[in-house]
């Protein structure tokens, strides 16, 4: 190959390359293209729902598999005054509120939550960033709590309101962490509100006093510092309307992949 030709090909390649990169970023800012991507997100969710048995259990591991270095992410120690006040009394005055579209709103102490039928499971926690850690969780079955509160027929989602402000820059009040799941996942046997991790009281960095475990979904669905559970018919009007702190910021609401 002649030098000229090689130079020509290199120049053509470099030009195409930079056009391609600029094109990618312009597409990322284009609302039509984002609409198309959103459609694919619905296919992804639909495909997962279609192939996954609703009751299929996430794999459970053994004590030998436990991570010695289970990573904590998101808020490590909430600075919100209400939370700090609860922490100062070791959650003696903590109440888990269960309300919204329920027949019997509940306000439970930690002792009452611990007295609820429980489940213990050793599962793999998969962060959206790509890493995994294996931990042992013991917690109250969410299904038992919801049965006690008795959902109204209009209820379609369960929202978890948390104590931590993860984005203090959000001045519209949407910086507070929250998450939501549908009733299939809410009534899944492995969905629990964990108060123990690796046989010890749940540490603050992992979400004390209560953290949601909704196995079969990614880490950001496992809401920490859960204060209030609300049954709703629609996710509109909560946070920025996408059903969770990270879904409000572009992540998938259904985080099965």
Partner 1 sequence: MADKPAKVLIRRHSGVTRLTHWLNVLALSLLLMSGLQIFNAHPALYWGAKSTFDQPWVSMKKEEIDGEPRGITTVGGMRFDTTGVLGWSGPEGAREQRGFPSWATAPSYRSLADGRRWHFFFAWLFVVNGLAYWLWSLGRGHIQRDLLPARDQLSPRHILHEIVTHARFQFPKGEEARRYNVIQKLTYLAVIAVLLPLMVLTGLSMSPGFNATAPGLVDVFGGRQSARTIHFLSASAIVLFVVVHLVLVVASGFWNNIRSMITGRYAIDVEGDRA
* Binding residues for partner 1 (CB under 8 A): 1, 9, 17, 20-21, 24-25, 28, 34, 36-37, 40-41, 43-44, 48, 51-53, 56-59, 61, 65, 67, 69, 71, 124, 126-134, 215-218, 246, 249-252, 256-257
Shorter beta-carbon distance to partner 1: residue 94 or 178: 178
CB of 252 to partner 1, least distance (A): 7
Shorter beta-carbon distance to partner 1: residue 55 or 150: 55
CB of 79 to partner 1, least distance (A): 25
Shorter beta-carbon distance to partner 1: residue 102 or 186: 186
Strands 211-213 and 192-197: antiparallel
CB of 238 to partner 1, least distance (A): 19
CB of 46 to partner 1, least distance (A): 11
């Amino acid at each position: 190959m002649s030098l000229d030709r090689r130079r020509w090909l290199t120049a053509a390649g470099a030009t195409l390359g930079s056009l391609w990169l600029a094109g990618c970023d312009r597409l990322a800012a284009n609302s039509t293209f984002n609409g198309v991507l959103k459609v694919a997100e619905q296919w992804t969710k639909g495909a997962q729902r279609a192939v996954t048995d609703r009751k299929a259990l996430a794999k459970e591991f053994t004590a030998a598999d436990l991570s010695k270095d289970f990573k904590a992410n998101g808020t490590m120690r909430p600075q919100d005054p209400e939370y700090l006040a609860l922490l100062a009394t070791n959650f003696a005055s903590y109440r888990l509120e269960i309300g919204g579209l329920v027949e019997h709103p509940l306000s439970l102490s930690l002792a009452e939550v611990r007295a609820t039928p429980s489940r213990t499971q050793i599962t793999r926690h998969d962060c959206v960033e790509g890493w995994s850690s294996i931990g042992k969780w013991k917690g109250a079955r969410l299904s038992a709590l919801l049965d006690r509160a008795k959902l109204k027929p209009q209820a379609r989602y369960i929202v978890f309101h948390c104590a931590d402000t993860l984005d203090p820059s959000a001045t519209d009040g949407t910086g507070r962490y929250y998450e939501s799941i549908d009733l299939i996942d809410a009534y899944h046997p492995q969905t629990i509100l964990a108060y123990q991790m690796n046989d010890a009281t749940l540490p603050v960095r992992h979400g004390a006093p209560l953290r949601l475990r909704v196995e079969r979904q990614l880490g950001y669905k496992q809401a920490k510092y859960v204060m209030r559970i609300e049954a709703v018919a629609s996710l509109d009007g909560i946070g920025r309307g996408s059903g969770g702190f990270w879904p409000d910021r572009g992540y998938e609401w259904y985080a099965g992949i």
